[in-house]
């Protein structure tokens, strides 16, 4: 879950990072109260969950209150790359003598946490050709023991710092490693980490992403910082999506969730090693209008599949549901079939009419097919492609 | 009431109270529980049965029968003869 800049900065401030003084404004009407507390020059920063805000015109430097008001009013009524601007951060400008890049994340190829640091931070540090790879310091972070002080100093030395700067930068590196591990982050990026004229290291911008599967370990984000759970898109989940997440949380077995609501009329139960996107696209290509995206797999319980089926069928206008997965070895076909049939029946629907397509080949498929036959559900095996199954599902909608 | 699977424990044969918790301990989807000195079936979990037959294999008295309601097939300890108990 990606946090907005001001949320990330609140958390980092509480963990000892130096953050510029700022205030959050959500409506133009709040400016009268907010502006007197802002030191100028200042930055007016749209709070949207994307990078490259500066280049998109969503970060504006202002010299006085009047310019701040103009910029704020302009940003608050607009969008930045499709995202509505629902909040602004008005923040004192930092006098920057040097810009650094600092990040902690997971290398998904090497399957370990890594720390990245560079003496060349700024807007283009991640662009190919802008940051020379040999100037990026990379160090593996042991997630069990964290980062020792001497290791943080080694990173600072490799970045090219010495003396007080080395000690100051190393302190931030260690804080970043601690925050990354303590908050169950998948990404903590500070760019730029600004060195001020006075030699202090200040977090000028921060990007925090918290592992959604670990949010239960971070209840203070919601209760303390009032950061609502939100989708990767940055928006708050709809009621339908929230209820789907509750279904997925019924027990630990498998996945029957990760639902995104759409405005169509064909319910989808899809999954299997990336097949959910393939099936979703195929449904659309054949003229279907999905009511939802979702992912199922990893052998969810019958109850979870049944509850998700009921939930999808509860949406107004959704008469049918397509069940399409890749060939699965870790998900039992018969258990998925039980869940979908049970969900249809509990929703008061006839499974044979409601299930527009059932294409889940894999383990225990013969058992599943026996079950589907019993309830009059049309099904197909791996001889029928995901694309063809999608076409058939859409055709049954017509 | 379950739709797909009915699990039955013959009370005449069940030795759960003597003490035997073989089925309760072995079932991966928690279908069994101790009840009045016998093994009882948790009805809401019956449809979660994954047909692993572990309960059939472990029950020392062949007291358990699993009825696949959609296939009219009943599985008992005789189906898993030779399995370690």
Of A320, A337, A269, the closest CA to residue B3 belongs to A337
pLDDT tens, A251-292? 889 988 889 999 999 999 999 878 999 999 999 999 999 999
pLDDT tens, A150-194? 999 999 999 999 999 999 999 999 999 999 999 999 999 999 999
- The CATH code of domain A96-223 reads 3.30.470.20
pLDDT tens, B8-67? 999 888 876 577 889 999 999 999 998 877 889 999 999 999 999 999 999 999 999 999
B47, A302: Cβ pair inside 8 Å?
yes
Of A298, A291, A296, the closest CA to residue A358 belongs to A296
- Asked whether residue B51 is assigned to any structural domain, the reply reads yes
**Phi and psi angles of residue A76, each rounded to the nearest 5 degrees, phi first:** -65, -20
Residues A245, A257 contacting (CB under 8 angstroms):
yes
- Asked whether residue B70 is assigned to any structural domain, the reply reads yes
A370, B70: Cβ pair inside 8 Å?
yes
Q: How many angstroms separate the Cα of A83 from the Cα of each of A101, A217, A235?
A: 26, 29, 9
Entry field: residues in chain A: 398
- Asked whether residue B48 is assigned to any structural domain, the reply reads yes
Q: Token pair 């404004």 is at which residue?
A: A25
Q: How many angstroms separate the Cα of A243 from the Cα of each of A258, A308, A360, B13?
A: 11, 9, 25, 44
Grouping H, G, I as helix, E, B as strand and the rest as coil, residue A101 is: strand
Confidence of residue A120 (pLDDT cuts 50, 70, 90): confident
β-strand partners of B40: B33
CATH of the domain at B63: 3.30.70.20
- Judging contacts by C-beta atoms under 8 Å, the chain B residues touching residue A342 are 3-4, 47
In chain B, which residue's Cα lies nearest the Cα of A375? B70
- Asked whether residue B85 is assigned to any structural domain, the reply reads no
Q: Which of A302, A303, A371 to mutate to test the interface with B (most CBs of B within 10 A)?
A: A302
A302, B48: Cβ pair inside 8 Å?
yes
To the nearest whole number, what is the mean pLDDT of chain A? Answer: 92
- Judging contacts by C-beta atoms under 8 Å, the chain B residues touching residue A370 are 70-71
Q: Please tell me the distance in Å from A370's CA to the nearest CA on chain B.
A: 7
- Give the residue numbers spanning the domain of B51: 5-77
The helix (run of H) or strand (run of E) holding residue A71 is helix A65-76
A335, B71: Cβ pair inside 8 Å?
no
Residue A52 CA to residue A56 CA, distance in Å, equals 6
- The CATH code of domain A239-397 reads 3.40.50.261
Of B16, B33, B11, B22, the closest CA to residue B84 belongs to B22
Report the pLDDT value the prediction gives residue A331, as an integer from 0 to 100: 92
Q: What stretch(es) of chain A map to CATH 3.30.1490.20?
A: 21-92
For the cut 60, the answer to whether the pLDDT of residue A131 exceeds it is no
Report the pLDDT value the prediction gives residue A51, as an integer from 0 to 100: 85
Q: What stretch(es) of chain A map to CATH 3.40.50.261?
A: 239-397
* Prediction ipTM score: 0.92
Name the residue facing A301 among B48, B51, B71 (closest C-beta).
B48
If one counts the domains in chain B, the total is: 1
- Judging contacts by C-beta atoms under 8 Å, the chain B residues touching residue A310 are none
Q: CB burial class (10 A; 0-12, 13-18, 19+) of residue A378?
A: middle
* Candidate CATH numbers 3.30.750.24, 3.30.1490.20, 3.40.190.10, 2.40.50.140; the one for domain A21-92: 3.30.1490.20
Share of residues in chain A with pLDDT > 70 (%): 95
Cβ-based neighbours of B48, under 8 Å, separated by 6 or more:
A301, A302, A303, B29, B30, B31
Report the pLDDT value the prediction gives residue A121, as an integer from 0 to 100: 73
């Amino acid at each position: 879950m990606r946090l907005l800049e001001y949320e990330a900065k609140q958390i980092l401030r509480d963990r000892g990072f130096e953050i510029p003084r700022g205030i959050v404004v959500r409506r133009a009407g709040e400016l009268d109260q907010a502006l007197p507390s802002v030191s100028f020059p200042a930055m007016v920063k749209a709070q949207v969950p994307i990078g490259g805000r500066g280049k998109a015109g969503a970060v504006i430097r202002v010299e006085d209150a009047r310019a701040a008001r103009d910029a704020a009013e302009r940003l608050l009524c607009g969008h930045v790359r499709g995202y509505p601007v629902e909040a602004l951060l008005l923040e004192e400008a930092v006098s920057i003598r040097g810009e650094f890049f600092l990040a902690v994340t997971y290398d998904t190829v090497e399957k370990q946490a890594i720390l990245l640091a560079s003496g060349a931070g700024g807007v283009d540090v991640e662009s190919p050709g802008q940051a020379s790879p040999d100037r990026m310091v990379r160090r593996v972070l042991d997630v069990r023991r964290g980062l020792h002080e001497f290791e943080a100093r080694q990173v600072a030395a490799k970045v090219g710092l010495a003396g007080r700067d080395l000690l100051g930068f190393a302190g931030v590196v260690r804080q970043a490693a601690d925050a990354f591990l303590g908050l169950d982050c998948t990404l903590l990026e500070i760019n730029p980490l600004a060195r001020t004229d006075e030699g202090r290291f200040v977090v000028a911008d921060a990007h925090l992403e918290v592992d959604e599967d670990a949010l239960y370990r971070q209840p203070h984000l919601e209760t303390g910082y009032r950061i609502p759970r939100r989708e990767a898109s940055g928006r708050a989940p709809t009621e339908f999506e929230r209820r789907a997440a509750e279904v997925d949380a019924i027990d630990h077995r498998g996945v029957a969730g990760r639902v995104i609501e759409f405005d169509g009329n064909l319910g989808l139960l899809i999954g299997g090693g990336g097949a959910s996107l393939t099936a979703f696209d195929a449904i659309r290509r054949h003229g279907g209008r999905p009511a939802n995206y979702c992912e199922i797999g990893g052998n969810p319980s019958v109850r979870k599949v049944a509850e998700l089926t009921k939930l999808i069928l509860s949406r107004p206008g959704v008469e049918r549901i397509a069940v399409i997965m890749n060939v699965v070895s870790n998900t039992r076909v018969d258990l998925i079939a039980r869940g979908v049939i049970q969900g249809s029946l509990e929703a008061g629907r006839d499974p044979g009419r409601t299930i527009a397509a059932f294409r889940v080949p894999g383990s225990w498929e013969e058992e599943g097919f026996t079950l589907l036959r019993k309830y009059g559900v049309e099904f197909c095996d791996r001889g029928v492609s995901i694309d063809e199954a999608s076409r058939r599902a859409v055709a049954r909608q017509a | 009431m379950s739709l797909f699977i009915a699990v039955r424990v013959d009370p005449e044969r069940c030795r759960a109270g003597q003490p035997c918790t073989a089925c309760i301990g072995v079932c991966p989807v928690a279908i069994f529980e101790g009840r009045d000195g016998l093994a009882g079936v948790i009805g809401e979990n019956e449809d979660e049965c994954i047909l692993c037959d572990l309960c059939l294999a472990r029950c020392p008295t062949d007291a358990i029968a699993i009825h696949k309601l959609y296939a009219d097939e009943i599985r008992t300890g005789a189906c898993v003869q030779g399995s370690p108990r």
